[in-house]
Amino acid sequence: MNFFDRLHDRIRTVDSVVSVGLDPDQSRLPDHLAEHDLPRWAFNRRIIDATHEHAAVYKPNAAFYEDSDGWRALEETIAYAHGKDVPVLLDAKRADIGNTTRQYAQLLEKADAITVNPYMGRDSLQPFLSNEEAGVFVLCRTSNPGGSDIQDLELETGEPVYERVAALADLWNENDNVGLVVGATKPEELEDLREQVPNLPFLVPGVGAQGGDAEAAVEYGLADGVGLVNSSRGIIFAGEDDGEEFAKASGQAAKRLKKRLNQYRD
């Protein structure tokens, strides 16, 4: 089954478009988890237990797992999320020349969807795009302040680079498996892009810790009700508590965000 069909079903089941970002910054984990073999996995397991009823997907960012223990923690996390019927979108922002990108595409043997970087062009994304089961979210207009350095540059046609990326992603969507990453900190761009590519679901990061616009994220992020609004630190580090209560706070934060976003859904 195609990723976006599965996501559609998941959104209906939990009545939520919340993507829970699993970015277990080791400097912020509760002290008592240090006694575990894999503290990041111990942390994520508790977060998943507390949030899965509100999670349309989990979005681990690969940056928080790129060491030997980290990959083990990530594998455990993905398997556990799947055990709770929650799809996993790996925020890896990959792409490279052909033989290298074929290696990267093996990440989709574990995760259900991935973020990719369009800078190297179609051939660098082909192994992801041709995986019909997987979701492929193309970075388009990112949430960070420096996103404008390149993405806002005007081409000779007058269109900004991010609009050209959206047009290309639409062309690359031969298997109905492509979405865009568009930051909630860019509500005007969200609106323009929704008009430009009405059928592509968006992954919208930047609500919560980055202060993005939750209403615009929902209004423009969803295509036929399918899309994702991500919060990572705002959910997983919602608790002040350094003991076992941290997970409860994350469950409450995920539920609050779900309710807030649902106000704006049709």
Ligand X SMILES: O=c1ccn([C@@H]2O[C@H](COP(=O)(O)O)[C@@H](O)[C@H]2O)c(=O)[nH]1
**Applying CB under 6 A, does 233 fall inside the site for ligand X?**
yes
Spatial separation of the C-alpha atoms in residues 164 and 196, rounded to whole Å: 10
**Applying CB under 6 A, does 232 fall inside the site for ligand X?**
yes
Among positions 208, 221, 239, 251, the unique one binding ligand X when judged by CB under 6 A: 208
**Applying CB under 6 A, does 14 fall inside the site for ligand X?**
no
How many residues make contact with ligand X (CB under 6 A)? 18
- How many residues are given for the chain? 266
**Applying CB under 6 A, does 21 fall inside the site for ligand X?**
yes
Spatial separation of the C-alpha atoms in residues 189 and 183, rounded to whole Å: 9
Active site residues: 93
| Of residues 51-80, those binding ligand X (CB under 6 A) | 61
Among positions 120, 209, 223, 249, the unique one binding ligand X when judged by CB under 6 A: 209
Q: Tell me which amino acid residue 191 is.
A: E
Q: Contact region for ligand X (CB under 6 A) — 97-105, 119-127, 204-212, 214-222?
A: 204-212
Closer to ligand X by Cβ: residue 2 or 117: 117
Spatial separation of the C-alpha atoms in residues 59 and 42, rounded to whole Å: 17
Closer to ligand X by Cβ: residue 149 or 266: 149
Handedness of CA 260, 205, 122, 95 (dihedral sign): negative
Closest separation between CB of residue 22 and ligand X, Å?
A: 9
**Applying CB under 6 A, does 183 fall inside the site for ligand X?**
yes
Cβ-proximal residues to 162 (8 Å cutoff; 6+ apart), any chain: 140, 141, 151, 152, 189, 193
**Applying CB under 6 A, does 143 fall inside the site for ligand X?**
yes
| Of residues 23-52, those binding ligand X (CB under 6 A) | 23
Spatial separation of the C-alpha atoms in residues 209 and 172, rounded to whole Å: 32
The pair of structure tokens assigned to 194 is: 């929704």
- Cross-strand partners of 185: none
Residue 110 DSSP symbol: T
The pair of structure tokens assigned to 55 is: 């999670």
Among positions 26, 117, 173, 210, the unique one binding ligand X when judged by CB under 6 A: 210
Footprint of ligand X on this chain (CB under 6 A)? 21, 23, 61, 91, 142-143, 181, 183, 205-206, 208-210, 230-234
